[in-house]
Amino acid sequence: MDNEILRALRERRSCRSYKPEQITDDELETVLEAGTWAPTAKGLQDPWIVAVQNPELLKKISRMNAAVWGRDIDPFYGAPTYVLVFGSDPAVWANSVPDGSLVLGNMMNAAHAIGLGSCWINREREMFATDEGKALMQELGLPEGLIGIGALSLGYPAAPPRDPKPRKENYWRVVK
Ligand SMILES: Cc1cc2nc3c(=O)[nH]c(=O)nc-3n(C[C@H](O)[C@H](O)[C@H](O)COP(=O)(O)O)c2cc1C
């Protein structure tokens, strides 16, 4: 079958090169709102979403992420917007990581649907477990005890994405 949504799901690719221009507030809010419609366990809406566009803060988050990775690069590919997703400690709420991951997935697909590029950027768990990360979560006005689940780089694509790999053999099976 085919329709607009299915095409968007097939065609979304990770974007690793961004134009410096900032996206519009309308575009950002569209992506964030799509995140809020992700299903969450028990409907508890456990995740917390923080969009960052402040240049100093972008630099700091990029540096913190690169430090976890042990590399001197910008892991966010120069994107003008980052979207960070946090959730409860899994020891407190076992579904926080799947909940947050679905929020991130919704936002990536929504970004693609409106012509934006995005990429999941890893290492949030580690970077927000440091003293600096915990202090930053407080600065961002988040409640205590959350963990970093994942982040997105977000912006206008500056280059075509990599071609997708073919889907692996036997990815799914049907048992009737
Ligand atoms: C949990 C997770 C972590 C990822 N971390 C990174 C990352 O740190 N940096 C990056 O460039 N891409 C990252 N990606 C993007 C994947 O590399 C990408 O989704 C995969 O290669 C498939 O490509 P596509 O998204 O274009 O279909 C991550 C994706 C997921 C789901």
Tens digits of residue pLDDT in 73-125: 999 999 999 999 999 999 999 999 999 999 999 999 999 999 999 999 999 99
Distance 116 CA to ligand 1 centre (A): 16
Give the pLDDT mean for 11-34.
98
- Which of 10, 11, 12, 14 to mutate for ligand 1's pocket (most ligand atoms within 8 Å of CB)? 14
pLDDT of 107 reads 98
Instruction: Give the pLDDT confidence score for residue 132 in this predicted structure.
Output: 98
Q: Is 96:47 a contact under the CB 8 Å cutoff?
A: yes
Residues lining ligand 1, judged by CB closer than 6 Å? Answer: 13-14, 16, 119-122, 161, 164
Q: How far apart are CA 146 and CA 21, in angstroms?
A: 31
Q: What pLDDT score does 105 carry?
A: 98
pLDDT in tens, 104-116: 999 999 999 999 9
Mean pLDDT of 134-148: 97
- Predicted structure pTM score: 0.98
- Give, using CA atoms, the residue closest to atom 14 of ligand 1: 120
The packing angle between helices 131-139 and 55-69, to 10°, is 150
Full set of structural domains in the chain with CATH: 25-155 (3.40.109.10)
